[in-house]
């Protein structure tokens, strides 16, 4: 095996972390998952439990008061929380999404100012790239940031922002030079309390209902130039580099949702009896279970492999295929999650279609993993470009 593709084996620390997070999720997060879905309320109890156990933003380096967990550990945390409640898994996932731009390109001043409160659990961090007319084509964004002395003044509206209104901080992409296209986009940290920041109504969604998705509206929001992330005009490059790392966390979420559905389906078919015997005794059901587990494990290994590469890249190593591998794991894991959760509903029959059982919620939650942080059609475009360039 070449040096570019090292053998992978989870450490004892990773497995201990998995057991710790699973126990916490089973005890503190899973019991409220159905209610969170029903009421569409932010899972505050899950957030508090994660903060109390220092699991809300494990990726923050120790230098800024964080746990300093590697990318694989972060994947495991998100995966295990998602197994219990997809909405709750967006707490550690989006905290990472919002802060990776700072970790990649931010000044030391910005890192100290914003990463420390996040590490302490005093704030959450969201990411604001998309707009109503700039989803897959993010470079066509219209939000403007105009220089005014030592400040920038931001105007525009960001769409589909996860945990908007709950998060205290936002990494916002805005056009600073309209003549330069993608090279005229810059990144900024915007605070919820900044005058001129407001939020649209909550989107009424198919799934992940406990994680608020809202517009972030910017009306003459004046912020100091020191809150720019990296140099002017580098924002879109930072955004794309960020997604190379955070698509992997969406894959982790998809793995967790799929694992939760598979676990529940296995338990159900072993107990449910038809024609005088457990449903699990029928070969057609056995083949479905085998295929579900096989596909899930394949997606998991690709995702863990991508996490290893992400960590090496964050440490400064050049990883030429990170863009490909992160797109591949996100695309595969989310497609697999949709398939597994659909099959889980099928295995429960009529019960699977009711809200009395969790697999219909998992099926609804899984769908978004094929859409956000780049639709799976866009992921295939990304992968093909990497292969053909």
Q: Is the entire prediction scored with pTM above 0.85? A: yes
pLDDT for the residue 6:
46
CB atoms within 10 A of CB 388: 6
Contacts of 200 (CB under 8 A, 6+ apart): 157, 214, 215, 216, 217
Domain boundaries, the chain: 12-119, 125-232, 236-388
CATH number of 12-119: 1.10.540.10
153: Cα separation from own chain's centroid: 29
CA–CA separation, 188 and 203 (whole Å): 25
State the Rg of the chain over Cα: 21
Q: Distance of alpha carbon 58 from its chain centroid, rounded? A: 14
CATH number, span 125-232: 2.40.110.10
Is 122 among the catalytic positions? no
Distance in angstroms (rounded) separating the CA atoms of residues 152 and 222: 6
The predicted structure's pLDDT at residue 176: 98
Indicate the CATH number for domain 236-388. 1.20.140.10
Active-site position among 131, 232, 311, 373: 373
Predicted pLDDT of residue 388: 98
For residue 7, what pLDDT is reported?
Answer: 46
Q: Please give the Cα distance from 51 to 152 (Å, whole number).
A: 33
Task: Output the tens digit of pLDDT for each of the chain's 389 residues.
Answer: 334 444 466 799 999 999 999 999 999 999 999 999 999 999 999 999 999 999 999 999 999 999 999 999 999 999 999 999 999 999 999 999 999 999 999 999 999 999 999 999 999 999 999 999 999 999 999 999 999 999 999 999 999 999 999 999 999 999 999 999 999 999 999 999 999 999 999 999 999 999 999 999 999 999 999 999 999 999 999 999 999 999 999 999 999 999 999 999 999 999 999 999 999 999 999 999 999 999 999 999 999 999 999 999 999 999 999 999 999 999 999 999 999 999 999 999 999 999 999 999 999 999 999 999 999 999 999 999 999 99
pLDDT at res. 10 = 79
Bridge partners (DSSP) of residue 338 are none
- If DSSP codes are grouped into helix, strand and coil, which group holds residue 194? coil
Closest CA to 82 of 249, 287, 282, 279: 249
Intrachain domains 125-232 and 236-388 with the same fold: no
């Amino acid at each position: 095996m070449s040096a570019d593709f090292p053998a992978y084996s989870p450490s004892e620390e990773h497995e201990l972390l998995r057991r710790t997070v699973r126990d916490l999720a089973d005890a503190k997060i899973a019991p409220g998952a159905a209610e969170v879905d029903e009421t569409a309320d932010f899972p505050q109890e899950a957030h508090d439990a994660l903060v109390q156990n220092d699991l809300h933003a494990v990726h923050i380096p120790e230098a800024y008061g964080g746990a300093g967990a590697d990318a694989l550990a972060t994947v495991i945390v998100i995966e295990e929380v998602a197994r219990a409640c997809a909405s709750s898994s967006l707490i550690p996932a989006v905290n990472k999404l919002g802060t990776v731009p700072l970790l990649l390109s931010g000044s030391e001043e910005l890192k100290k100012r914003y990463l420390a409160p996040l590490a302490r659990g005093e704030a959450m961090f969201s990411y604001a790239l998309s707009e109503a007319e700039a989803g897959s084509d993010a470079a066509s964004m219209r939000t403007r940031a105009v220089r005014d002395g030592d400040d920038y003044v931001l105007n525009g509206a960001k769409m589909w922002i996860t945990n908007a209104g709950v998060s205290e901080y936002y990494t916002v992409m805005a056009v600073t030079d309209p003549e330069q296209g993608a090279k005229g986009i810059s990144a900024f940290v915007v605070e919820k309390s900044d005058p001129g920041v407001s939020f649209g109504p909550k989107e009424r969604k198919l799934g992940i209902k406990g994680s608020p998705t809202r517009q972030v509206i910017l009306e003459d929001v004046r912020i100091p130039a020191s809150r720019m992330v990296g140099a002017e005009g580098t924002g879109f490059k930072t955004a794309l580099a960020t997604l190379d790392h955070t698509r992997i966390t969406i894959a982790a979420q998809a793995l967790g949702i799929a694992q939760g559905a598979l676990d529940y389906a296995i338990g159900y078919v072993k107990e449910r009896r038809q024609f005088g015997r457990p449903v699990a005794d029928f070969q057609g059901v056995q083949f479905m279970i085998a295929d579900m587990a096989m596909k899930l494990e394949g997606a998991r290994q690709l995702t863990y492999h991508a996490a290893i590469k992400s960590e090496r890249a964050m440490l400064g190593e050049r990883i030429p295929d990170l863009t490909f591998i992160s797109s591949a794991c996100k695309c595969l894991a989310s497609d697999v999650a949709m398939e597994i959760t659909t099959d889980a509903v099928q295995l429960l029959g009529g019960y699977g279609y009711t809200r009395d059982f969790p697999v219909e919620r998992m099926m609804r939650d899984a769908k978004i993993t094929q859409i956000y942080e780049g639709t799976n059609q866009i992921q295939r475009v990304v992968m093909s470009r990497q292969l053909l360039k």
